[in-house]
Amino acid sequence: MNCCCLFKKKSKKNISTEYLDSVNSRVNVLSTSELNCSKDENPTDIQKEIPAIIDIASINERATKQKWNVSSKFDLLCLDRILSPLKEYSLNVELPPKTLSIENVYGYQGIYARKNLYYPMDSPSAQPIIYFSGKLGILSYFSLKIQVFYTGHNRPITCMAIHPDSKICATGEYGSGPSIHIWNIPYIERADSRDYETNIVKPLFILNLDKRFIQTVCISFSRCGNWLIVIALNQSYISEILCYDWKKGKEVSCQLCHDDKVFNLIVNPFSRREFVTLGVKHIRFWSIDNLIHPVDNSEKNQNLTVSHISGAYLKSKTFASGTIKGDVYFWKNCLLSVVCNNVHKGPVTVVSPLPNNNFLTGGRDGRIVYWNEQHQPINEYTFDNNSCIRSIDAGGLEGILWGWGDGIGRRASRSFKGLNGGFKNRASVCSNSFLQELTRSNSLLTVSSNTYSVNVNNISNNLEILSNDEPVDEQKMADISYIVGCEDSSMYIFSQTDKEPIRLTEGSYCSSDGYELWGLDTHPLNSNIFITAGDDGFIKVYNLEKKELIRKKNYGIRLRSICYNPSGINIAVGTNDGSFFIVNENLDIIISAIIDRRATIYDLAYSPNGKYLAVASHDNYIDIYEVESDLGYYQRFMSCRGHSSYVTHIDWDINSSMIRSNSANNELFYWSLITDATKAIDPTSYRKVDWHSSKCILQWETKGIFGPKIVKNTTTQEEIEHFLSPCTVYCCDRIKINNDLQLLAVGDAFGNIYIYRFPAFSSDMKYQAFHAHGGPVANVKFAVNLKTLISVGATDGLVIQWNLENID
């Protein structure tokens, strides 16, 4: 029998006693009378686990602060002061003949997220893994290398639930008067099938909550599938429980849940009416009759002094809950029976049941602990990057799809006849028999007493090579045991056939601590390669064709900007401490490291001839370096001083002799590299220049992108208006399709991307708008293949690959 990646055989002798003794030395089993001996909770841990409350107003405020004291209603009259180039442009205000469609999303939303990753065993045979990121509901058919998206949300998604029949998904959002969208999970048999769309065109139902609510915290379908239970946060920051007869769109009941924060909602798989809520210093068991009310016995446990953030029912009908301090509590008949202390170092972020009475716990310490039927931790797996475990799913939908309460499940399926007429009876190819076989085997009693930690990164000098030319083995995908989502935006599959986890996707780690993703560039020669750099210290190289991360390296410092040199041999990287360095394209050699400034390097740009490197910093300077050779000799020969705020964007002209730049307080400056004092410089010479790039958001060619803009949701047909000014536009890039057509891509602070004809100098310019990111679009860049656009999100860590297609 193949051995699971969680375990490692050490010798033939039985060492189970040795291992359990070592575990018991770390884990203390307490009775309820000993609970008061535990230490106080860490307020920082509680704050990190509370779901983020963000709305458009805060994004506007944040954008305004970043751009000094400039009003979001920017005085557009100042655009008239920007003189036009002497070259004549023909004005074409019509819609561009190209549109965007999402092809792939790199990354998984691991911030403030729980229960946002599902692998329903009874799902369509192509085995979609369902999760959300930004404003997108994502169904990844990894065995087919296909992603399908639900794009109906106008605001970032905060929670998700799967119906007991595994063919329907519900997603909730935040913002005043949030809505819950209920939509079908499509059935895809083959990658070359033509009977599916990349976007889910229409939701089944949309439930609009009252304006007094500011966020949906968590949602779940009842065991019978007839009700949708919602935990929503009101304007007084008090959590309320709402119960919907969702097929009728009718609110059945509403009840105050708790006057403190609620983290999670768990449905009892053995009951049509019962569920559990967990939060700050409370855990409550509830029942739905005509009204929602707490179970009487649970009131005896309300003197708890510990916060519960995760939980799950086991096959024995015992409820296991994880706390903010790393403890695991066991509840029987709504009463506390046993407590295991110090299981994790820090919060137990997830409890996931397995088909038998075993279960898994994951924590912020980056460990997954395996528990046996006697509720003892018998082994563990540790990720080398120690990233917080945010979600684990073994495919049973909290036990419902494994037949726990099977009679109720049959009634739930019958109640949906006719609702999913497009679905036919079909058998799932997913099998979790491996876990069942493993837990019945005596091999569990012969595990190593030490933690078996597979080197996931498998790096040399902290460099990770992730690319694999071998195609995805469909058999491996069919033998999935469970999937894991981490806070660093990575997702893994633990399978029967591999002794190491399979990395499915990875974006960039963003957090409430200020970690963001800004650096992006595409390879100047290879149309399949692009690169990112973020505050997590990683440079990551992606392959567009393979749709995967192929290489990454952590430099241990916050990275802000990145760019290739014209040959693609070297990469310049700007940091948050004022330094920048040059590495080779394989990321294994640092060629040069230069520290001439003391604050963030916001932009870098090589001249088209490769002889110069311009570096823009928070110190209001642009430094020009002469590149003597590819071996690393960089000599500063010019500093451009004049901006009254930090420099955000730089463009070179095609002759490598002039620069234009934007600053944070909306200045547009032009610079010449002519240093000979005897040569006179024409003050209007910039009007004769052809520019090599168009990263500057404030220029004559982009005057038409500012003002009120309408973003239409193609799924719900809802229209939302935003006012774009230089303080709410973060990035732009242009591409030349042919001699008659150039396109401009623009990213704003609200997560939207716009496509214009270039130049877009008229306020009458028509555009196409697309929404996907859950926060500001930090950067956009076209690939040299003329058919791909890459966008990165500053706060959601998402990397999105867009296709540039002709409009039918």
Helix (H) or strand (E) holding 545: none
Average pLDDT over residues 63-83: 56
**Do you find a cis peptide bond into 51, omega within 30 degrees of 0?**
no
pLDDT higher at 193 or 432? 193
Higher pLDDT, 90 or 225: 225
Average pLDDT estimate for 771-799: 93
Specify the pLDDT at position 751. Answer: 92
| 299 contact partners, CB below 8 Å, separation of at least 6 | none
Q: Do domains 67-74+96-101+507-806 and 108-505 have the same CATH topology?
A: yes
Average pLDDT estimate for 554-564: 95
Closest by CA position to 649, among listed 601, 696, 699: 696
Q: How confident is the model at residue 673 (pLDDT cuts 50, 70, 90)?
A: confident
Domain boundaries, the chain: 67-74+96-101+507-806, 108-505
Mean pLDDT over the full length of the chain: 79
Cα(175)–Cα(377) distance, rounded to whole angstroms?
40
CA dist 274 and 334 (Å) reads 11
pLDDT in tens, 621-646: 999 999 987 667 899 989 999 999 99
Q: How many Å apart are CA 747 and CA 753, to the nearest integer?
A: 5
* Confidence band for 306, pLDDT divided at 50, 70 and 90: confident
CATH of segment(s) 108-505: 2.130.10.10
> Domain 67-74+96-101+507-806 belongs to what topology?
Methylamine Dehydrogenase; Chain H (2.130.10)
Beta strands in 235-358 (DSSP E): 239-245, 250-258, 262-267, 274-279, 282-288, 292-294, 308-313, 319-323, 328-332, 335-341, 348-353
Question: 679 falls in which pLDDT band (50, 70, 90)?
Answer: low
Q: Over the range 306-323, which residues count as b (16 or more CB within 10 Å of their CB) and which as e?
A: bbbbbbbbbbebbbbbbb
Give the per-residue pLDDT at 76.
Answer: 66
Q: Is pLDDT larger for residue 522 or for residue 495?
A: 522
Whole-angstrom CA distances from 808 to 196, 394, 805 are 18, 42, 9
- Asked if the model's pLDDT at residue 222 lies above 70, the reply is yes
* Position 479 confidence tier, pLDDT thresholds 50, 70, 90: low
**Percentage of residues in the chain having pLDDT higher than 90:** 45
pLDDT in tens, 574-608: 999 999 999 999 999 999 999 999 999 999 999 99
When mean pLDDT is compared over 368-372, 490-494, 501-505, the highest value belongs to 368-372
Percent of the chain with pLDDT over 70: 76
Selected residue with higher pLDDT from 81 and 765: 765
**The pLDDT of residue 802 is above 70:** yes
Determine contact, residues 475/497, Cβ cutoff 8 Å: yes
Structure confidence by residue, pLDDT tens digits, 8-61: 333 333 333 443 444 444 444 443 344 444 456 777 777 777 765 544 444 444
The pLDDT tens digits of the residues spanning 344-396 come to: 998 999 999 988 888 999 999 999 999 998 899 988 888 877 788 999 998 88
Residue 194: strand, helix, or coil = coil
pLDDT class of 427 with cuts at 50, 70, 90: very low
**Residue 3, amino acid:** C
Beta bridge partners of 243: 229, 253
pLDDT value of position 52: 58
282 forms beta bridges with: 279
**pLDDT score at 55:** 46
| Predicted pLDDT at 683 | 66
User: Around 223, how many Cα atoms within 13 Å sit in the side-chain half-sphere?
Assistant: 25
pLDDT surpassing 60 at residue 789 = yes
Q: How confident is residue 6, by pLDDT bands cut at 50, 70 and 90? A: very low
CA distances, 235 to each of 120, 213, 309, 411 (Å): 35, 6, 22, 38
Quick one: CA dihedral 667, 670, 675, 680, positive or negative? Answer: negative
Query: What is the model's pLDDT at position 402?
Result: 86
Q: What are the backbone dihedrals phi and psi of residue 369, each rounded to the nearest 5 degrees, phi first?
A: -105, 135
Per this entry, what is the length of the chain?
808
Least trusted range by pLDDT, from 233-237, 256-260, 401-405, 562-566: 256-260
| pLDDT attached to residue 446 | 23
pLDDT band of residue 85 (cuts 50, 70, 90) is confident
Q: Is the pLDDT of residue 650 over 50?
A: yes
Q: Are 649 and 695 in contact (CB under 8 A)?
A: yes
In this structure, the strands spanning 548-554 and 538-543 are antiparallel
What's the start-to-end Cα distance of the chain, in Å?
A: 54
